[in-house]
Chains A and B, each alone.
Chain A
Amino acid sequence: MKIITTIKTHCNKSLNYVCKRLIITTILLLNTIHSSDDIYESSLEDLLNMEIELKANVGSRSGSIDLHDARSPTDVITSEQIEHSGLTSLTDFLRYSVAGFNAPETSIADGSDHVRAFTFRGMSPDQTLILINGKRVHTSALLHVNGTIGRGSSGVDLDTIALKSIDKIEILRDGAAAQYGSDAISGVINIILKGMGHKNSFSIHTGQRKNGDGEQLFTDAFISLPFKYDGFVNVTISSKGQNATDRSGLDKRVSPATSTTNVGIADANSFNAVFNIEAPQKNDMIFYSYGLLNHKDSKANAFFRPKNDNENSVLLYSDGFLPRINAKIDDYSFSVGIQGEFNDISYDLSNVYGKNSLNLNVENSMNYTLGASSPTSFDNGTLEVSQNTVNLDLKKKFNNIDTAVGTEYRYEDYEIEQGDVNSYIGSASQGFAGYSPENTVYSSRSSYALYFDTTYHMNERLFLEGAARYEDYSDFGTTSNFKVAFGYKILQELLFRATTSTGFRAPSLSQSCYSQTSSFVDTTTGELSTQGTFKPSHEASLSFGAKELMPEESRHFSVGTVYQPTKNLSFMVDYFLTKVDDRITLSEELGAKTQEQIDIFALNNISKIRFFTNAINTKTAGVDIKFNYKCKFNTNSNLDFSAWFNYSKNDILGFNRTKEYKTVLPEQLDRIENGQPKTSLKLLSRYKYDDFDFVLNLNRFGSYQQAINNLAYTFNAEWITDLDISYKFSNGFNLAIGGLNIFNSIPNKWNGLSGTFYGADGIKPYSRYSPFGYSGAYYYVRATVEF
């Protein structure tokens, strides 16, 4: 009986097993048949509503390539995703959409309050190359010198680009300096402007924070005019008014303790304009041009100066004062180019000129040295950077080999213009010292590059890529870099890929030439003493072993796989490793120790200095895991879901200069290694039902640390939820309501730190490193008209 039961059970199990396998096989078969015939049986309207695969041009000069076939890890973000995000700045959009992209909102950090620094994979802002339509973008003139994420670097100001002008954003998660030159170490972001065929539209967006502040009014418009031979003139304009938020704690220096200082998002008004033109000619030649214009007036502040801060304070302010640090930013770029084909050789000749200017001025302040005669507002000087790049690219296909060669000439300059005399003499303007005549500088350099890129389609499954780039810089000399990549389709659905490359980042002119010094009265000697940032070539810096800055050098390796079992489902897993030697950092403030240093400091009335140096070697390693799924429930509803996890670990491997740097840099070291979340998870979903559109995005930012007085404090990981619900009326009118961080997640305050300025009970109760800020929930309505 027992044997019969056992046999029965076994048979049932086997039958069950066979049945399940049969069902699975049938469904798979049906699925295959369904998919192969699906598209042919669809109506013309349905075919025109189908989305083709996402393709990117970045990462290879062989033309656009399906992301699932890309040999280097690549992602694409579409304009639809941008439109339904509820976000009004590109920096914010990337922060909430790209795992591993970080852009904290800083406060009381001088110029850094006005120009957001961003990082990719926890590396430096200047280690990500930004392109527009494949052309290099100039950086901001601002050098982040305060204790913020990105300290010591000048990155591109992404908020100078109007969101509505963007067709798609291509993100190359790979070292690519061998293809694009300097800066392409942690990745390349290529912003593609809208081309032909896009609808005209006008949008208005308004909202405010849950706390009732941070009101925003954002309007933008896109107009496209057709031109002969499918050419176009596209113009985008946008304006944004952003009111400040304030999450400050109590100031214990005043009695009774009260809130004296604004801590939060800066108050800013900005205007952006973008044009993109293509004028094809009868002979297939295309003249093209694009231009960007940005003006921003931004107002932030320093810490409050109580009336007992200085004996002269009461001469102008009986109850103390809050110095306002304002920035006027003007940014523009303009490109012209011509592309076409001659004897099967594609050519592209272009010139791009870009300039960024940042004027800093201080209001509601005083220069203590000037006493009652001190002005209350100051022009503190202007920083300017400009860049002109000429490129010639040639491409030709030889059977199954795509080749590209090119050359580039780049000229860049950097300038510091002094502030008005009252802003820097004596103890200088409170809040931010003006740039003095000693700080003024004009510096320029040029570089030539020659590059070669090839892709060998060995067969339908195996692809090999190679790239080499030689550059000659007028300041530091030559550098050659190489990249090899390969992709092998083990199955039609399964791609194995790997890349290895070398790279570099030329020291920015701002890092080489920046100086800002201010004076204060030494309480022991009663004399004015100078401290601040000095050029690496200053004799005080040289006494610490400073040298002319050299380029950072990097080595990169990535290996990964893409699995796409069905057209609607894909997985990507990529491991990456980037080692950077001679990474440039801004040293901490150093006092004289040796006799030579003491003599030099005395001669120059210097008390402390800091300077840029190729100080450290770092390693960045991690993994990106992506999952994409699309599902159609019926003709009226579909779901688009993606999950993206990033793990990035940054380690300092060694130091290049004297050991004392190591001992005086604990805060800086901790910022590089632990100041940003090591993990980031994005769960992005969009559900369309008839004319309704629901976007629900969940973001998990991992924990991070900030060190104060050599002690590291941990801030917890947080989930952020964004929701956007929109309805499209038949006349092209679209109405949306939504919220960012709708559940009002706030980072924890300093845990165990008590202090006047920084601390749970201090003026700044939250860390400035918070990857999602600390201003809380934001709710908005948006109306869009397409015509």
Chain B
Amino acid sequence: MTKIFLIFLLVSSSSFAYESEDELKVVLTGKIAKFITWQGDGEAKFVITVIKNPYKNLFEKKYKNKKIKNKPVLIKYIDDISDLSFTNILYIPKVTSKELSSILKKTTQKNILTVSTMRAFAQKGGAVQLFFVSQKGRLKINLDVIKKENFKVKSSFIRISEVVKGMVY
């Protein structure tokens, strides 16, 4: 019986599983950074700012002792866009269209990569949109925003993303 249990545990340790949607969103946010090059980034830390954080301490847990672009990761939380300071990524969980408009105005021309799971985020002027179809994550990238914000994006990222051009906001 013990042998069966041990085998079972060994098998379990190499198993795949359902992931938490929130966890996947949080990890994908940082993972995207590996494919993006920021302009003249001389900061000591890689900063991810989360506005109106709904994930409790999930960002901190996931990025504790982790590095992005060989820099330690700093997570910042803000409730209002007027509190925004330097950041590489601004993660926008869910806000109204009106709020989104003012957030995107505030981040324009600041070399901030905006990431969100909001519907139509890329079309409305966001840089990278995460969404889920049949339980699997998908990406949309707005190349006009990327160009406007002076980011460089690896072609491998574009290959696995749906490309959006222009804005309909």
Contact = CB atoms under 8 A, between A and B. Distances in A.
Contacts of B160: 44-45, 48
A196 B27 CA distance: 23
Nearest to A565: B12
B86 interface: no
A52 B13 contact: no
Interface string B114-134: 000001100110000001111
A716 interface: no
Nearest to B34: A44
Given A79-B134, A284-B97, A632 B13 contact: no
Interface in B4-25: 5-6, 9-21, 23-24
Given A24-B6, A230-B120, A167 B13 contact: no
Given A230-B119, A283-B97, A341-B96, A51 B12 contact: no
Contact of A567 (B18, B120, B137, B168): B18
B10 to A, nearest CB: 6
Interface string B14-44: 1111111101100110011011000000000
Q: Classify the interface of chain B: helix, strand, loop or mixed.
A: mixed
Nearest to A639: B15
B157 interface: yes
B19 A567 contact: yes
Interface in B63-78: 66
A78 B134 CA distance: 8
Contacts of B131: 196-197, 230
A566 B17 contact: yes
Residue among B9, B10, B62, B96 with the most chain A CB within 10 A?
B9
A80 interface: yes
A44 B16 contact: no
Q: Classify the interface of chain A: helix, strand, loop or mixed.
A: mixed
B62 A568 contact: no
Contact of B15 (A195, A283, A632): A632
B24 A566 contact: no
A48 B138 contact: yes
Nearest to B123: A229
A631 B2 contact: no
Contacts of A569: 12, 15, 17
Classify chain B: how many residues form its interface, as a range. 35 or more
A195 B139 CA distance: 16
A355 B27 CA distance: 48
A167 B34 contact: no
Given A229-B120, A284-B96, A196 B133 contact: yes
A454 B50 CA distance: 29
B139 A48 contact: yes
B16 A52 contact: no
B5 to A, nearest CB: 7
Contacts of A638: 16
A11 interface: no
A490 B96 CA distance: 37
B6 A51 contact: no
A49 interface: yes
Nearest to A35: B17
B28 A53 contact: no
B135 interface: yes
Contacts of A632: 14-16
A34 B6 CA distance: 17
Nearest to A49: B136
Given A39-B23, A52-B135, A283-B97, A630 B9 contact: no
Contacts of B135: 51-54, 78
A626 to B, nearest CB: 14
Contacts of B13: 27, 30-31, 34
A230 B164 CA distance: 11
Nearest to B2: A20
Contacts of A1: none
A633 B123 contact: no
Contacts of B23: 39
B120 A27 contact: no
A23 B6 contact: yes
A23 B5 CA distance: 11
A509 to B, nearest CB: 39
Contact of A50 (B11, B15, B62, B137): B137
28 contacts: A23-B6, A27-B13, A31-B13, A40-B27, A40-B66, A44-B157, A47-B31, A48-B28, A48-B138, A48-B139, A49-B136, A50-B16, A50-B19, A50-B24, A50-B137, A51-B18, A51-B135, A51-B136, A52-B24, A197-B138, A280-B119, A282-B97, A568-B18, A569-B17, A630-B17, A630-B18, A631-B14, A633-B14
Closest 3 CB pairs of A and B: A567-B17, A568-B17, A632-B16
Interface of B: 2, 5-6, 9-21, 23-24, 27-28, 31-32, 34-35, 62, 66, 96-98, 119-120, 123-124, 131-139, 157, 160, 168-169
Interface of A: 20, 23-24, 27-28, 30-31, 34-35, 39-40, 42-45, 47-55, 78-80, 167, 195-198, 228-230, 280, 282-284, 341, 566-569, 629-633, 638
Given A20-B6, A27-B9, A341-B96, 4 more contacts: A28-B9, A49-B136, A51-B18, A569-B15
